[in-house]
Structure 1
Amino acid sequence: MTAIADVREDVRLPPFARTYAGGIAAATTLLLLAVSPWYGYHRDELYFRLLGEHPKIGYFDTPPLTPMIARVSTALFGDTVVALRVVPALCTGALIVLIALMARELGGDRSAQVLAAAGTATGLLPLVGGHTLLTLTPDLVLWTTVVVMLLRVLLRGDGRYWPAIGLVSGVATYNRDLIVMLLASVGVGVLVAGPRRIFADRRLWLGALIAVVVAAPNLIYQMTHGWPQFQMAAALGADDGANNRVTFVPLQILLLGVPQFVIGIAGWRRLWRNRATRAPAIAYPVACAFTLYSGGRPDYVGAFLLYLFAAGCVSAAGWRLRGLTVGALAVSGALMAVVALPVVPAASLDGSPVATINEVARESVGMHDVADQVAWVVRTLSPTDRAQAVLLAGNYGEAGAFDRWAGDFGLPKVYSGHNELWWWGPPPETARVVVAVNYDERFLSARFARCSTAGSLHGMPGEEDGVPIVVCHDPLRPWREMWPDMRHYS
């Protein structure tokens, strides 16, 4: 296999197809905004909304950026599900433009850039991240921004981008510390395949310093709180690691779409054949190995798949069967839209293939009913019991739902032992009655004078369906002594 010659600094880039790429980005953003109210809140959105009501430099299970996006969104646009989805839609629009720019950076002409934009707009991961406020949403934009600048350094030798890379990387740590995996994987690639001369560039080390300074408050929070991100990673690996490893390879094919994956294979080959871009080619398998070892989720390498796809579009634009490629992307895009977006009516989602494939979709239907059904149990309490009652939520999604609709349904204050919420402390000692959701009655009966199951949640496609609602009276010990028993990370 003959290596492609390194790209020189003086090579002129093809014109940017701003009209086409911008048009695809704008149309996708408008589509995402139009369908944003069709399903309800996802459990993570309710959690980020709840965390955003308590601004902090860090939370036990997540850095502060996504909760702050939730807080700003509700402040600007109202306390609605549509408000939380404005930023995700805009992020996906920006991502589409960035991937088109990446294809241009790799030498792609207008056809390659349009193919890259269209393939991103119809990919499963960008559509899911654009419809729902998830940590994935800002990650894709921040990571892709870093990759575009890295390519500029590798292909053009333009070290002026190192300080900007450091700045964006530092900001990215406030969303997820996984940006370190991207940088470390590319670093391994540079050490193995070059160009090692970049290590002699003082601007690289300036960029590293900027990244550390920007990330310092987040790092200080981690150090002073026992590195909670490592504790959460261990908990997630223990809970879901086996399943993540089983689904890792199939989801590499499906996270963008089958045609995008095939084009991504061509992209990996293109990056490998160019000595200047072998580092990002090596970075993908390195990141996959780390993710598999740690039991991380397959979508952790989503940004890697996107840059492989962008590189592949440069090759695919010149294929003889380009029309077949475009047709395959169109068919895949239609299927991905059905899977990723709220196309299937909410009433028909339970038991459908979409609910099986897309966890985000099935967990976005029924959270309002969670609050409504628990409110019915609260209303059965006597006035005296209601005055002394609190809610005890088994997970953060339930806690977020109770907080969101507390005013609508007259719900008492909610507490939870799940993740960050445990650190917010136990109920007051005056709380003598508990309506507990998603707790085993035997666990509760050992801690309260009397407990009885009042019913169970029902009629929803997600994991809340069937969880018990238990009413307990009179704690046997002070809450501050029982609270450690309630803590769980997942």
Structure 2
Amino acid sequence: MAETAATPRTRTSLPAFAAKPVAVVVLVQAAVLTGLSGRYGFHRDELYFMAAGDRLDWGYVDQPPITPLLARLSTAVFGDTPAGLRVVATLLAAAMVVVVALVARELGGGRAAQVFAAAVGAGSSFVLAISHMLATATLDVLVWLVLGLLALRLFRTRDGRWWLAIGAVTGIGLDNKWLVPLLLLALGVGVLVAGPREVLRTWWLAAGAGLALLLTVPVLVWQAAHAWPLLTVAGGISADDGAENRLLFVPMQLVYLSPVLVPVWVAGIVRLWREPDLRWARALAVSYPVLCAVLLIIGGKPYYSVPLLVLLTAAGAEPALRWARRHRAVAGGLAAVGLAINAMVGLPVLPVSALGPATAMNAEQGEQVGWRELTETVAGVWERIPEADRATAVIFTRNYGQAGAIEEYGHEFGLPQPYSGHMSYADWGPPADAMTGPVVLVGELGSGARSGLLDGCARVTEHDNGIGLDNEEQGTDVSLCTGPAEPWSRIWPELRHFY
């Protein structure tokens, strides 16, 4: 986009983009992620995304439609396997690396700073974790990074037409996850505090907001038609986990990228605030504490602020490199240790039998293990049902991970379509009222369900993943009930739950 004639020259010249070395970082990143993408197995959320992708809609109880759509596209093109699903995650991760390098360039960083920023973007702990698997956060982090880049371009050039690009990316982001307004709020406060305030005094801002709204209308209509369940889920997260989120917020800021990188993003804040040539970018420095304050107030999850930390790390690339050149041995040692720890925490590099310490730092690793084994456990209980009764029997699960696993692996064991009252699975049920036969109950009913909805329930077995890994499904009870106490259509509203 063209810059206005009034734009000072200090805002128009940028270093050349270090395309070749950044491409090398991307290729190494893609090779590592691809090589490890088939280890362990699907994450519980990935199983849910694939189930949602098989039932495409403009929205779901707990998310907009883009991530399930990406899950469906990736498995359709590359195969219904963890490696096939995660191709799209690898591509999104590669885009993150390029954007982070462009942010460093936007802030005046030369070749070395851009490569440093790209390497940090590829190798930080949280980014590795969401790059290895497909999550709503995978695209969300990319959206935040792109918005950060576009906002910096707007601040530097004062060209209001960048609001159109910001609006377009915001609309796409809202069609994936409803966290983008937090970033826009933080950046807006930053602009009001530190400038450049003139970027707010243009009709292009309204045009960008209109474009974002236009792109989000189908999702908003779906949510409104279903009584805004996404807000219900968000409110429940804040109510249930808010105190823990607040308690862990500061410690998690220090480890999400890596403790080794804390001085780098702190240096980025200082640089943005103190360097005269970067006065136009001070809003980015202000936005981080503003976002932290908002998250502490609402009890949001600590990882919501990670994309801003990545942006600030790109800002700190130049001072970090100056320090590293004076302390090469120390810098090399810190980088090696930090990368090794990040890989252990974020990637499936350990044998599953040795996952215990890693899950203490990243529980999502453990949620990629044992789903086929859980399905096999359920199949063992299903086989206890007399064959004549199986046509009217039902498998009912406590959560979407269990249901998604049975959908994915159940055909290997002759299992029927499972049902669940959890999240959007509740919208995909209930069983037909004619299904009055036995019920295989995986886990317990939702916390809001009254007792007696299922008759004659007796615990049959307890799931064991076979390696003693203490994840969410280890020790899950599987029971066999004689049938529903009332028609499924009548009891279904009580079986629905969000948590």
TM-score tier, shorter chain, comes to over 0.9
2:297 aligns with 293
The 8 Å contact of residues 91 and 141 in structure 1, kept in 2 or not, is answered as: yes
Counterpart check, 1:451 vs 2:457: yes
2:30 aligns with 29
1:435 aligns with 440
> Which amino acid in 1 is paired with 2:99?
L
Task: Give the direction of change, closer, same or farther, for the CA distance of 1:7–1:45 in structure 2 (3 Å limit).
Answer: farther
Q: Whole-Å Cα distance in 2 between the matches of residues 157 and 294 of structure 1?
A: 33
Equivalent residue for 1:348, pick from 350, 354, 359: 354
The 8 Å contact of residues 398 and 446 in structure 2, kept in 1 or not, is answered as: no
Q: Whole-Å Cα distance in 2 between the matches of residues 219 and 276 of structure 1?
A: 35
Q: Whole-Å Cα distance in 1 between the matches of residues 401 and 364 of structure 2?
A: 12
Q: Whole-Å Cα distance in 2 between the matches of residues 110 and 7 of structure 1?
A: 24
Residues 417-436 of structure 1, C-alpha deviations (whole Å, 9 max, x = no match): 11111122321112221101
Q: Whole-Å Cα distance in 1 between the matches of residues 245 and 463 of structure 2?
A: 28
Q: Whole-Å Cα distance in 1 between the matches of residues 406 and 8 of structure 2?
A: 57
The offset of 1:7, in angstroms, is: 7.3
Counterpart secondary structure, 2:407? helix
The 8 Å contact of residues 375 and 409 in structure 1, kept in 2 or not, is answered as: yes
Most deviating of 436-445 and 19-28:
436-445
Counterpart check, 1:470 vs 2:484: no
> Which amino acid in 2 is paired with 1:418?
H
Most deviating of 66-75 and 236-245:
236-245
The offset of 1:8, in angstroms, is: 4.5
> Which amino acid in 2 is paired with 1:391?
I
Counterpart check, 1:367 vs 2:367: no
Task: Give the direction of change, closer, same or farther, for the CA distance of 1:228–1:386 in structure 2 (3 Å limit).
Answer: same
The 8 Å contact of residues 437 and 468 in structure 1, kept in 2 or not, is answered as: yes
Counterpart check, 1:164 vs 2:165: yes
Task: Give the direction of change, closer, same or farther, for the CA distance of 1:475–1:10 in structure 2 (3 Å limit).
Answer: closer
Q: Tell me the percent identity.
A: 41
> Which amino acid in 1 is paired with 2:452?
A
How many residues align structurally? 483
> Which amino acid in 1 is paired with 2:439?
V
Counterpart secondary structure, 1:54? coil
The offset of 1:9, in angstroms, is: 5.3
> Which amino acid in 2 is paired with 1:483?
W
2:45 aligns with 44
Report runs of 4+ in structure 1 exceeding 6 Å deviation.
441-445
1:486 aligns with 495
Unmatched runs of 5 consecutive residues or more in structure 2? 1-6
The offset of 1:326, in angstroms, is: 4.3
Counterpart secondary structure, 1:282? helix
Q: Whole-Å Cα distance in 2 between the matches of residues 444 and 203 of structure 1?
A: 54
The offset of 1:322, in angstroms, is: 5.1
Task: Give the direction of change, closer, same or farther, for the CA distance of 1:90–1:159 in structure 2 (3 Å limit).
Answer: same
1:91 aligns with 92
The 8 Å contact of residues 159 and 201 in structure 1, kept in 2 or not, is answered as: yes
The offset of 1:448, in angstroms, is: 3.1
Q: Whole-Å Cα distance in 2 between the matches of residues 222 and 474 of structure 1?
A: 34
2:244 aligns with 243
> Which amino acid in 2 is paired with 1:487?
R
The 8 Å contact of residues 140 and 176 in structure 2, kept in 1 or not, is answered as: yes
Counterpart secondary structure, 1:318? helix
Q: Whole-Å Cα distance in 2 between the matches of residues 121 and 175 of structure 1?
A: 22
2:4 aligns with none
The 8 Å contact of residues 189 and 287 in structure 2, kept in 1 or not, is answered as: yes
Q: TM-score, normalised by structure 1?
A: 0.95
The 8 Å contact of residues 443 and 476 in structure 2, kept in 1 or not, is answered as: yes
The offset of 1:441, in angstroms, is: 12
Task: Give the direction of change, closer, same or farther, for the CA distance of 1:440–1:226 in structure 2 (3 Å limit).
Answer: closer
2:340 aligns with 334
The 8 Å contact of residues 441 and 470 in structure 1, kept in 2 or not, is answered as: no
Residues 329-386 of structure 1, C-alpha deviations (whole Å, 9 max, x = no match): 232011111111111101222xx21021111101001111111111111112210222
2:138 aligns with 137
Most deviating of 114-123 and 129-138:
114-123
Counterpart check, 1:122 vs 2:123: yes
Q: Whole-Å Cα distance in 2 between the matches of residues 489 and 470 of structure 1?
A: 22
> Which amino acid in 2 is paired with 1:433?
P
Task: Give the direction of change, closer, same or farther, for the CA distance of 1:441–1:140 in structure 2 (3 Å limit).
Answer: closer
The offset of 1:276, in angstroms, is: 1.1
Counterpart secondary structure, 2:56? coil
1:402 aligns with 406
2:273 aligns with 272
> Which amino acid in 2 is paired with 1:421?
Y
The 8 Å contact of residues 366 and 461 in structure 1, kept in 2 or not, is answered as: no
The 8 Å contact of residues 187 and 283 in structure 2, kept in 1 or not, is answered as: yes
Most deviating of 312-321 and 285-294:
312-321
The 8 Å contact of residues 355 and 362 in structure 1, kept in 2 or not, is answered as: yes
Q: TM-score, normalised by structure 2?
A: 0.93
Counterpart check, 1:112 vs 2:118: no
Q: Whole-Å Cα distance in 2 between the matches of residues 355 and 289 of structure 1?
A: 28
Aligned 1:190-201 pairs, distance under 5 A: 190-201=191-202
Most deviating of 132-141 and 380-389:
380-389
Counterpart check, 1:321 vs 2:326: yes
Most deviating of 23-32 and 210-219:
210-219
1:421 aligns with 425
